[in-house]
Amino acid sequence: MGKEIAIFTNTYPYGTGETFLAEEIPFVSGEFETIHIFPLYIPESETGALCRETPSNTIVHRPLLSTDHKDRYGLLAGGLPNTAPLWFAIKEFFARKVYCSKKKVWLWGNYLCILRSILGNKRKIKEIIEILERCSCAYFYWGDKSALTIPFLKKELQQGKMPQFVVRFHGSDLYEEAKGYLPFREMLYSAVDYAVTISDNGKDYIENNYSNQPGEIKVFRLGSSYHSDACPNLGAPVPADAGAADSTGAYNILSCSNVIELKRVHLIAAAMLILERDVELARSMESKGISHICWTHIGDGPLLEPIKELLIQNGTPEGEEGELTPIAFNFLGALPHIKVLEYYQTHYTDLFLQVSRSEGIPVSIMEALSYGTPVIATEVGGVAELLPQGCGCGKLLPREIDAERLAKEIKDWILHSLEMPEFDLALAARRQWEERWDCRKNYTAFARFLKGLQQ
């Protein structure tokens, strides 16, 4: 059994986010005597009570911030009137020409206020230091916000009582193109003992883009939970009350993401409008007993209503003659993670679509594969590691893609899948998940790595 470990999160165990960290924690807890958890903040919607159970050897400390990290006035009040360091930020402001972009200035100021709000709370810093001096490892689940304290914490720690600092890097906290700019990268990397990326692509990104490098870069993949074979894609019957997405004769397409510009859900909608008028596709589907396509999207966001309006205004008018491909649209909005998994367990899904402009390595694709769902996705971040050449369960698309190309790729995949033996694609998807993305294997390996960092 290892010693103590400190884990820095965004909100866990408060709120409902960081579901994949919640799955990882039990594996880590089995390797350490005590786990200290330091959330960054409590979501505004929470009252302060823990929303999720934690392992019995866990101590949850008060958050690093007294306000939500999106509360501008709270951050200004906490981040300006204190004696926390400032010169490092001024140097970056000019060295990286932050002043040339309003967006960069906003991000720089936001991260600086978060960091100074934490460092300015001397009592909190003292508490953290006292605990870190008992720990063999300080594990930061995200490569931004809380992790930016690492260079300053190291200066406060006594020689001989320094834990190993480990930081996981995912997508938006790693790839600068996702936000346009990530403040204080070079300062962070030079202070990290182990940068843990969730993909080989992430490792390459750090190595190729920064002069300051972490002590060592490791790849430890995320994973999704084990699911039984009791789902429609793997032969289980579809429940009678499954809903519109499984109506008889449908080719079911699913996407799952926030509806924001980065995820480009509007491209899927535009592609559906193109497919709706494809006579060749309609005839091919009809010959196989398929009457229509049903596109279901799980997720919400500011662009959802404009997408619905696009479909209403440009869809095929009722009564229009001709051999067309009927398209049904099914928007489920944001669902709790458990409900997303229940969807796969009760609905047959022919294809999962992901067309993001930037990604780390999407767990949403891992989950689709685990339920035997083939995937078409843009080749961004580490997505290619989920769908390697020859896997037989999906296809990669270029990052820069338009609706016409996307519609053609969907059509080609549908025609290809209609000629495949039943369950071949589903079994290939499930096999790909079992080999590389089963969280039991991946989280066990990572937890043992953390345990091995004892001084």
pLDDT in tens, 354-378: 999 989 889 899 999 999 999 999 9
Task: Judge whether 307 and 329 are in contact, CB under 8 Å.
Answer: no
- Give per-residue burial for 117-130: e unless 16+ CB within 10 Å, then b: bbbbbeebbeebee
Q: Please tell me the CATH code under which domain 232-436 is placed.
A: 3.40.50.2000
- Per-residue pLDDT tens over the stretch 392-426: 899 999 999 999 999 999 999 999 999 988 789 99
Between 324 and 441, residue with greater pLDDT: 441
Angle between helices 102-119 and 87-95 (to 10 degrees): 160
Q: Mean pLDDT across the chain, nearest whole number?
A: 90
Question: Is residue 244's pLDDT more than 70?
Answer: no
Strands 58-60 and 164-169 turn out to be unpaired
Between 365 and 70, residue with greater pLDDT: 365
Note the pLDDT of residue 325.
Answer: 76
Note the pLDDT of residue 321.
Answer: 46
Note the pLDDT of residue 2.
Answer: 57
May I ask the CATH class of domain 2-223+439-451?
Answer: alpha beta
CA distance linking residue 222 with residue 200, whole number of Å: 12
Range with lowest mean pLDDT among 113-117, 324-328, 352-356, 368-372: 324-328
Read off the pLDDT of each residue in 217-245 and give the average, rounded to a whole number.
78
CA distance linking residue 361 with residue 197, whole number of Å: 10
Task: Judge whether 360 and 172 are in contact, CB under 8 Å.
Answer: yes
Question: Which pLDDT band holds residue 78 (cuts at 50, 70, 90)?
Answer: confident
Burial class of 200 by CB neighbour count within 10 A (0 to 12, 13 to 18, 19+): middle
Note the pLDDT of residue 10.
Answer: 95
**Domain 2-223+439-451 matches domain 232-436 at the CATH topology level:** yes
- Per-residue pLDDT tens over the stretch 148-187: 999 999 999 988 889 999 999 999 999 998 889 999 999 9
Return phi, psi of residue 164, to 5°. Answer: -80, 130
| 94, HSE (Cβ side, Cα atoms, 13 Å) | 4
Note the pLDDT of residue 1.
Answer: 43
- Per-residue pLDDT tens over the stretch 188-211: 999 999 999 999 999 999 999 999
- What is the side-by-side strand order in the sheet with 327-333? 327-333, 292-298, 250-256, 351-354, 375-378, 394-397
Q: Dump the DSSP string for 315-345.
A: SPPTT--SS---EEEEEEE---HHHHHHHHH
Note the pLDDT of residue 178.
Answer: 82
Query: For the whole model, what pTM was predicted?
Result: 0.84
| 440, HSE (Cβ side, Cα atoms, 13 Å) | 7
Q: Which amino acid is at 174?
A: L
Angle in degrees, CA 21, 22, 24, rounded to 5:
60
The residue count of the chain comes to 455
Measured from the Cβ of residue 72, the count of other Cβ atoms closer than 10 Å reads 12
**C-alpha 310 chain-centroid distance:** 27
The verdict on whether omega for the bond into residue 13 sits within 30 degrees of 0, i.e. cis, is yes
Determine what percent of the chain is predicted with pLDDT higher than 90: 73
Note the pLDDT of residue 73.
Answer: 72
- Per-residue pLDDT tens over the stretch 280-296: 999 999 999 999 999 99
What is residue 435's three-state secondary structure?
A: helix
Question: Which pLDDT band holds residue 46 (cuts at 50, 70, 90)?
Answer: low
Question: Which pLDDT band holds residue 319 (cuts at 50, 70, 90)?
Answer: very low
Domain boundaries defined on the chain: 2-223+439-451, 232-436
